[in-house]
Amino acid sequence: GWEMTLLILSIAPVLAVTGMIETAAMTGFANKDKQELKHAGKIATEAVENIRTIVSLTREKAFEQMYEEMLQTQHRNTSKKAQIIGSCYAFSHAFIYFAYAAGFRFGAYLIQAGRMTPEGMFIVFTAIAYGAMAIGETFVLAPEYSKAKSGAVHLFALLEKKPNIDSRSQEGKKPDTCEGNLEFREVSFFYPCRPDVFILRGLSLSIERGKTVAFVGSSGCGKSTSVQLLQRFYDPVQGQVLFDGVDAKELNVQWLRSQIAIVSQEPVLFNCSIAENIAYGDNSRVVPLDEIKEAANAANIHSFIESLPESLES
Ligand SMILES: Nc1ncnc2c1ncn2[C@@H]1O[C@H](COP(=O)(O)OP(=O)(O)OP(=O)(O)O)[C@@H](O)[C@H]1O
Ligand SMILES: [Mg+2]
């Protein structure tokens, strides 16, 4: 089928270019769409998450308008794009069909003249024509390939990153008993993302077993940060946090955290039964029902739970 091949190859560059145009129009615009939809989505998510605050400030209409405005830009862009994409599509498809027409006409002539079988004509035609279009599309997608590759590098780096404090680590001491004597020894600390702002400067404090201690101070003075150091979410930049005289860094992270009960500023209930919500405090074993009830008693919520239709299973 060399004659057929020659004809198609002569129009192949055009086919390749149409493939390029079409793919470029689709992918280029899809990327831009994503950006704008992301902004609108962010407004919607924020509004839904903070609905009580928005209602209390009677800002519903304002958020609705903000969301609408975001969609307006997208709508305007889409209308504009529709014409460009449409034209590209029309141009590229028209060309493809013209090429088909020319190919088939020439193929018919070759078959009539007995220089090709119908089967051979179809094989040559499809292989070369589709091949040319695929080459065009590949050219456009080639930059995406390298982008994907560099994206994957970041992703794998993230997956392989070893956290400074690994909660799954089996290493570290697991003392049999925990007295509960705590000590901050000359602790200085800044958050890794703000190394220029020291939150704690040489905090020294010891809290003996059984004592009740309150940290009092203005908002942002570092109370929650100190508690996070006890939970070992971070390590001090200088100084030590000690449990029964042992540096927190030497203790097994899971063990350490399982010794701590915490009611945070914003307590969280997971979407499961009350019993399960209480039991997740110790996920190293299956917590028996008796212990769950005991914990509920100790927290003064047992009678409230009993008053619910399904009590602990509510
Ligand atoms: N993850 C973080 N990254 C960077 N800075 C942070 C981070 N968390 C808190 N901070 C900053 O550290 C300082 C201390 O915050 P912290 O939450 O410990 O204050 P707090 O005393 O508990 O305040 P509040 O009384 O409002 O609960 C604040 O200036 C805060 O902005
Ligand atoms: Mg706080």
DSSP labels for the chain? Answer: -HHHHHHHHHHHHHHHHHHHHHHHHHHHHHHHHHHHHHHHHHHHHHHHHTHHHHHHTT-HHHHHHHHHHHHHHHHHHHHHHHHHHHHHHHHHHHHHHHHHHHHHHHHHHHHHTTSS-HHHHHHHHHHHHHHHHHHHHHHHHHHHHHHHHHHHHHHHHHHHPPPSS-TT---SB--S-----EEEEEEEE--TT-TTS-SEEEEEEEE-TT-------STTSSHHHHHHHHTTSS--SEEEEEETTEEGGGB-HHHHHHT-----SS----SS-HHHHHHTT-TTSPPPHHHHHHHHHHTT-HHHHHTSTTGGG-
Q: What is each CA distance from 86 to 78, 103, 133, 268, in whole angstroms?
A: 11, 25, 19, 50
Chain segment 17-75, per-residue pLDDT in tens: 777 777 777 666 666 667 778 888 899 999 999 999 999 988 889 999 989 888 887 78
pLDDT band at 208 (very low <50, low <70, confident <90, very high): very high
Work out the number of other CB atoms within 10 angstroms of the CB of residue 18.
23
Burial 289-306 (b: 16+ CB within 10 A, else e): eeebbebbeeeeebeebe
Spell out the domain ranges in the chain: 2-160, 182-258, 274-313
For the CA of 265, the closest atom of ligand 1 is: 27
Q: How confident is the model at residue 205 (pLDDT cuts 50, 70, 90)?
A: very high
How does the average pLDDT of the chain come out, rounded? 86
Q: Which of 7-16, 124-133, 179-188, 246-255 has the lowest mean pLDDT?
A: 7-16
Q: Is the pLDDT of residue 98 over 90?
A: no
Taking the centre of ligand 2 as the mean of its atom positions, its distance from the CA of residue 247, in whole angstroms, is 24
36 within 8 A of 73, measured Cβ to Cβ: yes
Ligand with an atom nearest the CA of residue 199: 1
**Index of the ligand 1 atom closest to the CA of residue 228:** 18
CA 118 to centroid of chain Cα atoms: 54
| Domain range 2-160, CATH class | mainly alpha
CA of 299 to the centre of ligand 1 (A): 28
Question: Could you name the CATH architecture of 182-258?
Answer: 3-Layer(aba) Sandwich (3.40)
- 66 CA to middle of ligand 1, Å? 30
